[in-house]
Amino acid sequence: MSSCFALVDCNNFYASCETLFRPDIKGKPIVLLSNNDGCVVARSKEAKALGIKMGIPAFELKSLIAKGQLLTFSSNYTLYADISARVMSTLEMLAPALEVYSIDEAFLDLTGVSHCMDLTDFGKTIRNTIQKHIGMTVCVGIAPTKTLSKLANHAAKKWSKAAGVVDLTNTVRQRKLMALLPVSEVWGIGSKLTARLNKLGIHTALDLADANPSFIKQQCSIVEARIVAELNGESCLALEHVAPTKKQIISSRAFGERITSKPKMHEAVSEYISRACQKLRKEQQQAKQLTVFIRTSPFSDKQREPYYGNSISNQLTHPSSDTRDFLTLGSRLLDKIWKDDYRYVRAGVMLTDFYDEGVYQVDLFEPEPPSYQSKALMTIIDTINSTGTGKVWFASQGIAQEWSMKRAMLSPHYTTKWTDLPIAR
C-alpha cells in the first residue's frame, strides 16, 4: 500500500491565538514581540500586508502604534503552548497516526484513508473540525511523501481557490506545482544549498525532482538525494511517532534590566536551572554535565562598558534530574566566572550528557549517591507547579526577580489560569 501524508499547519499561529479570545481585534494588524518586547517575532497577515518585516525593532513601529494602525502583544508562550496541545489532541482523534513537527504543525498518516473517503473531503473535515472545536484556521497539504505534503501545504496557503486544502497525490499535479515553485521552497533546502543548486542549473523544485539522485548525492549529500526521491513520490521519511530525545537542554533569557550584583545573578541562574531540570524530568532523562554562562552586551560602547562574557562547565558524580543537585553545582560554577563592576544582560545554563533513568553504570569504588527521596519530591513539585493554582520554588530563585524579562503587553492566560478566564457580559 502506497504511503500518504498530510501536513496540517495553523495559519499565523501566534497572532491567531491572540485573536481567539479577542474577536474585537480580528482583521486588524497584529505583531508579537520577542522577550523584553524587543523586536517582532510573529505577524498577522494584515501586519504582513503593511510591509512589517520579521525582526524589526519595536521602537521603529511607534508611529503606527500611536496612530492605532498596529496592535502589539508580548509573546504569551503559555497560551500558545496550550492552544497547540488542543489542536494536536484533536488531530489525534481524526487520523490513524500523528507526528507533532512544531508548535503549529503536524504530519498525519493518511495511508488507506482514500479507500473510504475522498482525500480533499477528509482535509476539509480536518479543517472544519479544528475551526469548530478550537477556533483556529488550518491549511492541509496531502501527498504521498512528507516533502511533497510540505509543498502541498504551501500551495494551500498561497492560493485562495484551494480553500485551505490541496491534494497532491496525483503525479501530474505534483509536477505542475513543482514547476511553479523555486527550489528554496522545498523542505530542507536552505539558502546556502539553494545557491549551490542554482550554480548546478537547478532553479525550481521540478528541476531538483528531475535531477539524477547519484549526481545530487555526489555534489551535495545523501540527504539531498533522499529529497529528490521524496519529490518523485518515494517515501524516505517515515512518521516519527515518538519525538527524539533531546541531546541538550538550554535555559536562557535576556534580562529585563541589567544585573550588576552577584546575588541577583545567582537568582537568575537558579531560576534557569530550575526550568532546565523541569524539562529534563519531562523528557524522563537524567544529566551529568552543567554549563553556566553570563555576558554583558556586545553592542554597548566599549569605552564606557567593556565587554565580558564567560562560560564554565562541570559534572556531577552521578547522573541526576534533581534540581537541588544542579543548584549546588551551578552556585559553585557562577562563583568562578563572576566579575564585579560589569552590567550583565544575559545568563543561561545548559544540561548535557544525558542518561535514561536507571541505566548508569556505577564505578566499583564509587559510592551510591544519597537519594533524599529525590524522585518523589521532584514529582510533587512538578505536579503542584503544573496545576496553575500555586507554585513551589527554591529560595535561591528569589521572590521579586526584578531582573526578569519585561512583557508589558502580555495578554491574559485565558486557558491556563483561573483568574484570567474570559467573562461573558
User: Which one of 171, 203, 231 terminates a domain?
Assistant: 231
> What pLDDT was estimated at residue 54?
92
- Is 338 inside a domain boundary? yes
Confidence of residue 369 (pLDDT cuts 50, 70, 90): low
pLDDT winner (highest mean) among 330-334, 355-359, 366-370: 330-334
More confident residue, 318 or 331: 331
120: left (phi over 0), alpha (psi -120 to 50) or beta: alpha
Cell of 47: 501586519
13, with CB counted inside 10 A (0-12, 13-18, 19+), is buried
| Residues 168, 181 contacting (CB under 8 angstroms) | no
Confidence of residue 367 (pLDDT cuts 50, 70, 90): low
Confidence of residue 278 (pLDDT cuts 50, 70, 90): very high
In this structure, the answer to whether residues 260 and 278 fall within a common structural domain is yes
- Indicate the range of 178-182, 193-197, 353-357 predicted with least confidence: 353-357
State how many domains the chain has.
Answer: 3
Query: Which whole number is the average pLDDT over 106-134?
Result: 94
> 320 lies in which domain range?
249-397
| Residues 253, 346 contacting (CB under 8 angstroms) | yes
CATH number for the domain spanning 87: value is 3.30.70.270
Measure the CA–CA gap between 283 and 243, rounded to whole angstroms.
10
In this structure, the answer to whether residues 72 and 176 fall within a common structural domain is no
| Residues 31, 40 contacting (CB under 8 angstroms) | yes
Predicted confidence (pLDDT) per residue in 128-149, tens digit: 999 999 999 999 999 999 999 9
Confidence of residue 2 (pLDDT cuts 50, 70, 90): confident
pTM passes above 0.85: no
- Is 409 inside a domain boundary? no
CATH number for the domain spanning 52: value is 3.40.1170.60
CA angle 340, 346, 351 (to 5 degrees): 105
CATH number for the domain spanning 254: value is 3.30.1490.100
Measure the CA–CA gap between 361 and 318, rounded to whole angstroms.
9
> What pLDDT was estimated at residue 77?
87
In this structure, the answer to whether residues 131 and 28 fall within a common structural domain is no
User: Which one of 77, 95, 116 terminates a domain?
Assistant: 77
In this structure, the answer to whether residues 179 and 280 fall within a common structural domain is no
Give φ, ψ of 363 to 5 degrees. -65, 150
- The β-bridge relationship of strands 71-74 and 30-33 is parallel
In this structure, the answer to whether residues 30 and 148 fall within a common structural domain is no
Identify which of 237, 224, 210 has the alpha carbon closest to the alpha carbon of residue 143. 237
In this structure, the answer to whether residues 96 and 45 fall within a common structural domain is no
In this structure, the answer to whether residues 197 and 288 fall within a common structural domain is no
In this structure, the answer to whether residues 73 and 163 fall within a common structural domain is no
Predicted confidence (pLDDT) per residue in 226-248, tens digit: 999 999 999 998 887 666 667 88
In this structure, the answer to whether residues 227 and 335 fall within a common structural domain is no
Question: What order of strands is seen across the sheet that includes strand 309-320?
Answer: 249-259, 344-356, 285-296, 309-320
| Residues 139, 164 contacting (CB under 8 angstroms) | yes
In this structure, the answer to whether residues 149 and 287 fall within a common structural domain is no
- Is 244 inside a domain boundary? no
Instruction: Report DSSP state, residue 65.
Output: H
User: Which one of 54, 77, 100 terminates a domain?
Assistant: 77
Q: Over 80: is that where the pLDDT of 215 sits?
A: yes
